[in-house]
């Protein structure tokens, strides 16, 4: 157990809809990162938040957005869903104090299916 | 640009045999490297990480990895495979680009045969 939880576990949406995925980080972890893992692939970095501010973004369009709250919870929002957005979405929390050696603790993921 | 390459998308070993999962990295600066394991329908769990303190890194569940700069490798090994080791394994490098993010390899699925 990593102490990181995500909800919901599974979600089915149709193309064009909007979705919000939620993550609860470990207490004291000021950094949360979100990853997209397509079937048969490694996780791809979407973005990272530190103390409620976005401080890094991967190669994902603006319709992927996020929020981080003071209570160590966070959200990933995806607008105008496309079929290719079907994937496992993982959040990972870390202290943000050890730079490149920081260990990221992953949640179990939310499986999103877009029809 | 920093990256990792995992050779072999599928590896099968017999129970009790040596496990060797390969990871090569590309980096112009000393890398920070990680191995994670993913069991079916679960998130990623850290096995071990290399932070330049020691080239041989011991992790959980009997796994270890050796950082070899001359070969740009960070292969994961376990002397004796167990059925519970069947899972997907990911190598990752921590990359600095304003913040630190992980770049993952494509993963190696380990199958353990009875």
Give A59: exposed, middle or buried? Use CB within 10 Å, 0-12, 13-18, 19+: exposed
Give the model's confidence band at B30: pLDDT under 50 very low, under 70 low, under 90 confident, else very high.
confident
B 23-82 residues with CB < 8 A to A: 32, 34, 36, 41-46, 49, 51
Segment B88-113 shows an average pLDDT of 90
- Give me the pLDDT at residue B87, please: 96
Higher-pLDDT residue of B99 and B40 is B40
What is the model's pLDDT at position B50?
Answer: 93
Q: Which two tokens stand for residue A91?
A: 């959040």
Peptide bond into A72 cis (omega under 30): no
For chain A, which residues score pLDDT lower than 70?
none
Residue A27: per-residue pLDDT: 85
Tell whether A66 is within 8 A of chain B (Cβ): no
Confidence label for B28 from pLDDT (cuts 50, 70 and 90)? confident
Q: Which of B44, B97, B101 sits opposite A90 (nearest CB)?
A: B44
Order of strands, edge to edge, in the sheet holding B3-7? B3-7, B19-26, B73-78, B64-68, B56-58
Averaged pLDDT, B69-82: 96
Question: Residue A32 burial by CB count (10 A; 0-12/13-18/19+): exposed, middle or buried?
Answer: buried
- Interface touch A56/B101, C-beta < 8 Å: yes
Q: Any chain B CB within 8 A of the CB of A55?
A: yes
Provide the number of CB pairs (under 8 Å) joining chain A to chain B: 70
User: In chain A, which residue's Cα lies nearest the Cα of B104?
Assistant: A42
- The DSSP symbol for A102 reads P
pLDDT of residue A34: 97
DSSP string, A22-80: EEEPPTT--EEEEEEE-TTS--EEEEEEETTEEEEE-S--TTEEEEE-TTSEEEEEE-S
pLDDT at residue B54 is higher than 90? no
- Helix, coil or strand: residue B33: strand
Better-predicted residue by pLDDT, B95 or A10: A10
Residues of A within 8 A of B35 (CB-CB) are none
pLDDT above 90: residue B42: no
Q: What is the pLDDT of residue A9?
A: 95
Q: What is the pLDDT of residue A99?
A: 74
Q: What is the pLDDT of residue B73?
A: 95
List of chain B residues whose C-beta atoms are within 8 Å of the C-beta of residue A105: 46
Give the residue-averaged pLDDT of B52-69.
93
The verdict on a CB contact (< 8 Å) between B98 and A56 is: yes
pLDDT at res. B92: 94
Highest mean pLDDT of the ranges A98-102, B10-14, B53-57? B10-14
Question: With an 8 Å Cβ cutoff, is A81 touching chain B?
Answer: no
User: Has residue B101 got a pLDDT over 90?
Assistant: no
Strand partners, A19: A78
pLDDT at A113: 97
Is B63 buried (19+), middle (13-18) or exposed (0-12) by CB count in 10 A? buried
Test A45 with B98 for CB contact under 8 angstroms: no
Instruction: Find the CB nearest A107 among B34, B43, B104.
Output: B43
For residue A50, the chain B residues in CB contact (below 8 A) are 99
- CA atoms of B46 and B76, how far apart (whole Å): 13
Sort out which chain B residues have CB atoms less than 8 A from A40's CB and list them. Answer: 106-107
Angle, CA of B78, B7 and B96, to the nearest 5°: 90
* Residue B99: pLDDT over 80: no
């Amino acid at each position: 157990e990593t102490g990181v939880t995500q909800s919901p576990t599974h979600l089915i949406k149709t193309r064009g809809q909007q979705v919000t995925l939620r993550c609860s980080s470990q207490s004291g972890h000021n950094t949360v990162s979100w990853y997209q893992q397509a079937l048969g692939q490694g996780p791809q970095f979407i973005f990272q938040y530190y103390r409620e501010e976005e401080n890094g973004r991967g190669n994902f369009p603006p319709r992927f957005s996020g929020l981080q709250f003071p209570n160590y919870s966070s959200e990933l929002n995806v607008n105008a869903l496309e079929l290719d957005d079907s994937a496992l979405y993982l959040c990972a929390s870390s202290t943000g104090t050890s730079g490149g050696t920081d260990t990221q603790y992953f949640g179990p993921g939310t499986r999103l299916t877009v029809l | 640009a920093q990256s990792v390459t995992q050779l072999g998308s599928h590896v099968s070993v017999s129970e009790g045999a040596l496990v060797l999962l390969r990871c090569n990295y590309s980096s112009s600066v000393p890398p920070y490297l990680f191995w994670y394991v993913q069991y079916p329908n679960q998130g990623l769990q850290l096995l071990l990480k290399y932070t330049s303190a020691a080239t041989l890194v011991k992790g959980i569940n009997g796994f270890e990895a050796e950082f070899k700069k001359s070969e740009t490798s960070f292969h994961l090994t376990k002397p004796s495979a167990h059925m519970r080791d069947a899972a997907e394994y990911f190598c990752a490098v921590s990359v600095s680009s304003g913040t630190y993010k992980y770049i993952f390899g494509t993963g190696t699925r380990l199958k353990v045969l009875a």
